[in-house]
Amino acid sequence: MKQLGILRNIGDNELELMRAWRNEPSVRANMYTQHEISPEEHLTWWAKTKDRPDQKYFMYETAGTPVGIASFNGIDANSANSAWAFYASPTAPKGTGSRMEFLMLDCAFNTLNLHKLYCEVLAFNTAVIKLHEKFGFKVEGIFREQHKVNDAFVDTYRLGILASEWQKGRQAMYDKLTAHVKA
């Protein structure tokens, strides 16, 4: 599994790196909050977020190098579900999103013992919608003109995957992601 990288806790010394990635124009463009985040705003948010039981944030690292952030948000232990999100460093190698997604799905269903994982994606971010579908997520709904971006309203896609669906497709996805290693 290590060939896919690891998810680990975010160190306090990595908060500025996390903020810098989050402020990249290519990352901000696909987020609900699109303004540039100040150091003070980021530190205030992190102080409120880091110890919340319904939030878990991870640094994704591969070959000893941090290259992404992934999170569970709104973890509902009673209903065994959670939202999730991720973003990668602008210099992350190709395939980083897929590897992060695999590890987060395994964490959701094998560590957190969730029944369902879901996310929301702005409609114009078709690459991420397709990525989630490749992993077995199903479009559960389209919230029409749900979010305002630069004076225009855009649709938001809600996608979800059940633990049973992940277990059915997990091995095939693992084999795809590690095919280059086995060759």
What pLDDT sits at residue 183? 40
Tell me the per-residue pLDDT of 57-94, one tens digit each, with 9 for 90 and over.
999 999 999 999 999 999 999 999 999 999 999 999 99
Query: Tens digits of per-residue pLDDT, 101-122?
Result: 999 999 999 999 999 999 999 9
Q: Is residue 151 classed exposed, middle or buried when 0-12, 13-18 and 19+ CB atoms within 10 A define those classes? A: exposed
Instruction: Compute the average pLDDT of residues 139-159.
Output: 95
Q: Return the residue matching tokens 């395939």.
A: 95
pTM of the shown model: 0.93
By percentage, how much of the chain surpasses pLDDT 70? 98
Q: Looking at residue 24, what is its pLDDT?
A: 86
* The predicted structure's pLDDT at residue 181: 58
Residue 153 structure tokens: 């309203």
pLDDT for 33 equals 77
pLDDT exceeds 70 at position 8:
yes
Report the distance separating Cα 17 and Cα 29, nearest Å: 18
**One-letter amino acid of 65:** T
Instruction: Examine the pLDDT at 29 and tell me if it is beyond 80.
Output: no
Report the pLDDT value the prediction gives residue 1, as an integer from 0 to 100.
59
Domains and CATH numbers, the chain: 2-182 (3.40.630.30)
pLDDT at 174 over 50: yes
CB 156 within 8 A of CB 122: yes
